[in-house]
Amino acid sequence: MKNRAGLIGLKIGNSSYFNEDGSSVPVTIVRVEDCIVVGTKNKEKDGYSSVQLASINTSKDINKINKPQRKLFASLNIEPKKVVKEFRVSEELIPELGSLLKVNQFKKNQYLDVTGISSGKGFAGVMKRHNFGGLRASHGVSVSHRSHGSTGQNQDPGRVFKGKKMAGHMGSKQVTKQNLKLIEIDEDNNLLIIKGSVPGKKNSLVFIKDAVKKNIWKKIY
């Protein structure tokens, strides 16, 4: 299967998209900043093929950017960027160094995979975090209605297994939503209108690429 480079964007927020028949579709609006190719890798030299994209202008002072990145941006004669992201791509589809990738890379009605950091919920109990049913409301249960109940087994194994579903920090993890349909593309404002929800809060960073499970480009290339 052929893999193309993705794009770096910012989640603007949620809205509704109205079709020609008047029906509405819940959508997420993502603004894609100019993604510049600042580095490439190939199988012969690096063992795998990929492309590195830089996007979103940084407000940092030039002296606070590390020297390797400063040298990289200076060699391409571009302003320092806030985000540098690597995408695995097929070797024959690696774009040229310094080229610009925009929203017109994608096509209307194709499917996308979108990766972002989910909204943080703080410390949460098992009923909220793992959808537990809780204990009984009566018949001897006291002060423990929303607890998780037993966590272990017996003297053997005599411990709690790793990964046990318990109360703890909820959210703030990398999440990828697959097979999201691209409803509309606004090239003038660099916007992608994607059906459904996308991980993250408003103005959070997201990475968009062709859907792995519904990759239409494997039929083209």
CATH of the domain at 32: 2.40.30.10
- Shared domain for 22 and 55, answered yes or no, is yes
Q: Worst-scoring range by mean pLDDT, 78-87, 167-176, 182-191?
A: 78-87
Structural domain includes residue 158: no
Q: Is residue 29 part of a domain?
A: yes
| Across 37-46, 131-140, 158-167, least confident range | 37-46
Q: How confident is the model at residue 221 (pLDDT cuts 50, 70, 90)?
A: very low
Total of domains in the chain:
2
Residue 83: inside a domain, yes or no?
yes
> Which has the closest alpha carbon to 37: 1, 2, 87?
87
Flag whether pLDDT at 60 surpasses 80: no
- Give the Cα separation of 56 and 99 in Å (integer): 15
Question: Residue with structure tokens 């410390």?
Answer: 123
137 with 189, same domain?
no
Residue 153 lies in a domain: no
Q: Does residue 198 contact residue 211 with C-beta atoms inside 8 Å?
A: no
Q: Are 198 and 209 members of one domain?
A: yes
Q: What is the mean pLDDT of residues 12-37?
A: 92
Residues 93 and 127 in one domain: no
pLDDT tops 50 at residue 171: yes
User: Do 114 and 142 fall within a single domain?
Assistant: no
62 shares a domain with 77: yes
The verdict on 32 and 97 lying in the same domain is yes
Whether 51 is in a domain gets the answer yes
Residue 56 is assigned to a structural domain of this protein: yes
> 184 with 208, same domain?
yes
- Domain of residue 130 covers 121-148+164-170
User: Is there a domain that residue 159 lies in?
Assistant: no
Burial 1-16 (b: 16+ CB within 10 A, else e): eebbbbbbbbbbeeee
Residue 35 β-bridge partners: 101
Residues 68 and 102 in one domain: yes
Q: Rounded to whole angstroms, how far apart are CA atoms 179 and 197?
A: 11
Say if residues 29 and 14 touch (Cβ distance below 8 Å). Answer: yes
pTM (2 d.p.) = 0.85
